[in-house]
Amino acid sequence: MDGLTEAKLRALAGERSFERGLAYVDEVSGVEFGDGWIRASVRGTERYEVELLLRGRRKPAGACDCPYGQEGNFCKHLVALGLTVIAQDADLPRRRKAARDRTRGLDAWLTGMSRDDLLALVREEMAEDRNLRKRLELRAASARGDVAGIRSRIRELLDSGPFARYGYVEYADAHAYADQAAQAVDAIRSVTASGRAADSIALAREAIGMLAAAVESVDDSDGRFGEIGAGLAAAHHETCRAAGPDLVELAHWLVTHALDDVADLTDIDPLDYEDLLGEQGMAALRRYAVEAWQTNRTGWAEKHLMQRLAKSGRDIDTVIAVHAADLAPNGHTHLLIARELDAAGRPVEALEWAERGIRETEDLATVDTALIDHLADRYTRTDRPADTVTLRRDHFAARRTLLTYQQLRAAAIAAACWPTEREKALARLRDDAARADTRGDRVLVDVLLDDKDIDAAWRTADEHGAHDGQWLTLADRSRPTRPADALAVYLRLAARPTRETGNRAYEQLVSLLLGIRDGHRRLSTPDDFTAYVTDLRAAQKRKRNLMRLMDDHGLSGA
C-alpha cells in the first residue's frame, strides 16, 4: 500500500506516538478512501479528523486537527489510522480504484445535468447543509461585490455567541469556533480577488478588532487564534498592496494598531510596510509615532515603536532620546544608552552615560550590576586600573557580598594594590560583625575561606558564628591541620540527618561519616570510629537504603 508499513509509521511518528497510537486503533471510524488520501475520525480526548496522504514513492504524510497534529506532528491518531489501513491492505487497491471510479462517475453525472436540474440539486443540498449554504452565499456576495453582505457574514463568522456557555467559549468548543472564525480570512481575500481591495482593507481591520474582542472570552489553550490573527494580518497586507491605499492614512492606522493591545494578536509590524509606504508614508509613520511617544513617554509600546523606527533609520540620537526620557533609577537605561553609543562607534559619549548612571543611582546597593561590570570593563580597556578599583571598592562598600569582594580583589590585584584594599575591605566586614550584623559576619567567613585564610575564617566562625554550610567547608579544609576541630563539626552536623529519612539525607549522612572516619584516622582513634558506626547502625537499622549505602562505602562497624 504505497510502501506504508508499521516501520514507516514508527519512523514518522516516533516511538512514543507510535506506541500510544496502538491503543487508539479501536477508536478509528468512518474510514473513507480516495485516490491518494484516506480520511477517518478517531476518538481521543474528543473526536478528531485525520487524513493520510499517500504519495507514491515519497514518504506518506498526514494531518490531524488534534493540538499535537496542528503543530505539524505525525500524531498517535494518524498512527491509529495507518495501522487500520495496513490491516486492510489486501482490499486497498480495489478501494482506491472504486474511489477513482466514483469521482469520474460523479463528474460525468454533474456534467450531464441540465442547468435547471443542477440548480435544483444545489438548492436541495443547501437546504440540508447550513454551512454549505453560508459558504455559497459568501461566494455569491463576493462575485457581485456585495460588501455589506460580506461584512455581515464576517460578523457572523467571528461571533462567539453560539459557542459560548455563560459568556465564555470553553476549550471543548474553542476548536469549532476557531474553524469558523478562520473562514473570515478567506472572505476578505475573496473581496480582494473580486477587484474591491479598498473595501477589503476596511473589512480586514474590522475583523481584526472583532477577533481581538472575541478572544478575550475564549479558552485559546492551543493558540489557534494567534494563527487566525496572523492570517488576518497577512490578508490586510495583501489588500493594501493590491489597493494602493492613502499612505498617510495607512501610516496612522499602523501606528494606532501597534500601540493597541490587539497588536499582540496579529503581530503586525509597521516596518513590514516600508516598501509600500515609501518615503512619504514612512515620514508620516515616524511623525505619528513621535506624537504618540510625546504623549506617553513612559509607555512600553510607544518607546518600543520609536526605538525600532529610529534604529531602522539609523537615527541613534532618537534612540537615545527615547531612552533618556524615562531613565530607570538603578542605571539600567544608562547602560542601554551606553551600549547603543558603543555600537554606533561613539565610545566617549558611551563612557559619559555609563558614568552618569553610577552618579545618578542614589544607592549603589541597588544599581544594575551589569552597569558596574560594563564601566569596569571600559576602564580596564582604556588602561585606567585605579578607576576600576575605585568603582569596585564603592560597590563593595554599598553591597558587601562575596561576589563584590571577589570583583574588588581582581581589580586590585591588576592594579597592584590588593594588600591595602584587602585590609580595608576586611575592616569593613569586621565592623559589621562587631555590630552583630548577621549578614556581615557570614560574608566575612566566606571571603576568608575564598582567600584561603582558613585560620582567620575559623576564628571568625568561633567568635561570630557561621551557618552549617560554612562549618562544613571549614571542617573539610581544616581536616589535615585541625583534625580534632573538624571531627567535632562532623559529629555535630551528623546528628540532624540521623533523624531524617530519604536518600538525600542518607547521602548527606554518609558523606559526613566519611569525614568522621578520616578525622579518627588522623587522630589515631579508629576504634572510636568503629564503636560510633556500630552504635549508629544499630539505631538506624530499619533504614535499609542507608544500610546499603553505608555498606557500599565500607562503613560496616564492628
Distances (CA, A) of 223 to 230, 321, 556: 11, 37, 59
Question: Exposure pattern of 250-271 as b/e (b: 16+ CB <10 Å)?
Answer: bbbbbbebbbeebbebbebebb
Identify whether 305 is part of a domain: no
Residue at 29: amino acid letter: S
| Segments of the chain with pLDDT less than 70 | 1-3, 55-58, 89-93, 142, 436-441, 557-558
Residues 545 and 519 in one domain: yes
Number of other residues whose CB lies within 10 A of the CB of residue 96: 19
Structural domain includes residue 138: no
Q: Helices 115-128 and 130-143: crossing angle, nearest 10°?
A: 130
| Count of domains observed in the chain | 3
50 belongs to a structural domain: yes
| Residue in the block written with cell 515519497 | 58
Q: What are phi and psi for residue 239, nearest 5 degrees?
A: -70, -35
Q: Are 76 and 10 in contact (CB under 8 A)?
A: no
10 and 102 inside one domain? yes
Domain shared by 430 and 448, yes or no? yes
Q: What is the pLDDT of residues 235-251, one digit of tens each?
A: 999 999 988 889 999 99
Q: Please report, as a single letter, which amino acid is at residue 132.
A: L
Q: Is residue 289 a contact partner of residue 296, using CB atoms and an 8 Å limit?
A: no
Range of the domain at 34: 6-112
Please check whether residues 31 and 102 belong to one and the same domain: yes
Beta bridge partners of 47: 43
Residue 441, in any domain of the structure: yes
Average pLDDT, the chain: 89
DSSP per-residue codes, 142-202 = HHTT-HHHHHHHHHHHH--GGG-BTTBB-HHHHHHHHHHHHHHHHHHHHHHHTT-HHHHHH
Residues 398 and 480 grouped into a single domain: no
| pLDDT value for 373 | 96
Distance, in Å, from the CA atom of 231 to the CA atom of 28, rounded to the nearest integer, reads 32
**Per-position DSSP letters for 229-269, written without gaps between them:** HHHHHHHHHHHHHHH---HHHHHHHHHHHHTSTTHHHH---
Residue 117 lies in a domain: no
Largest CA distance in the chain: 112
Return d(Cα 511, Cα 447) in angstroms, integer.
Answer: 25
- At 58-80, the pLDDT tens digits run 677 888 888 788 778 899 999 99
Q: What is the pLDDT of residue 91?
A: 63
Task: Give the list of residues 6+ apart from residue 26 with CB closer than 8 angstroms, or none.
Answer: none
Residues 460 and 483 in one domain: no
Contacts of 106 (CB under 8 A, 6+ apart): none
Q: How many separate helices (H) and strands (E) can be counted in the chain?
A: 29, 4
How far is the C-alpha of 236 from the C-alpha of 151, rounded, in Å? 15
User: At which of 66, 90, 112 does a domain end?
Assistant: 112
Q: Could you tell me if residue 422 is inside a domain?
A: yes
409 with 493, same domain? no
Same domain, 14 and 99: yes
How many other C-beta atoms are found inside a 10 Å radius of the C-beta of residue 68? Answer: 17
Out of 112, 142, 160, a domain closes at: 112
Strand partners, 43: 47
Indicate if 450 and 511 belong to the same structural domain: no
**Judgement on whether residues 410 and 486 belong to the same structural domain of the protein:** no
Last residue of a domain, one of 418, 442, 466: 466
C-alpha cell of residue 493: 552536623
Q: What is the DSSP string of 385-445?
A: HHHHHHHHHHHHHHS--HHHHHHHHHHHHHTT-HHHHHHHHHHHHHHHHHTT-HHHHHHHH
Do 451 and 507 belong together in one domain? Answer: no
Q: Is 480 exposed, middle or buried (0-12, 13-18, 19+ CB in 10 A)?
A: exposed
Does residue 372 form part of some domain? no
Based on the fold, state whether residues 79 and 14 are members of the same structural domain.
Answer: yes
Task: Tell me, yes or no, whether 370 lies in a domain.
Answer: no
Distance CA 112, CA 549 (A): 86
Q: What is the spatial distance between Cα 396 and Cα 414, in angstroms, rounded to a whole number?
A: 17
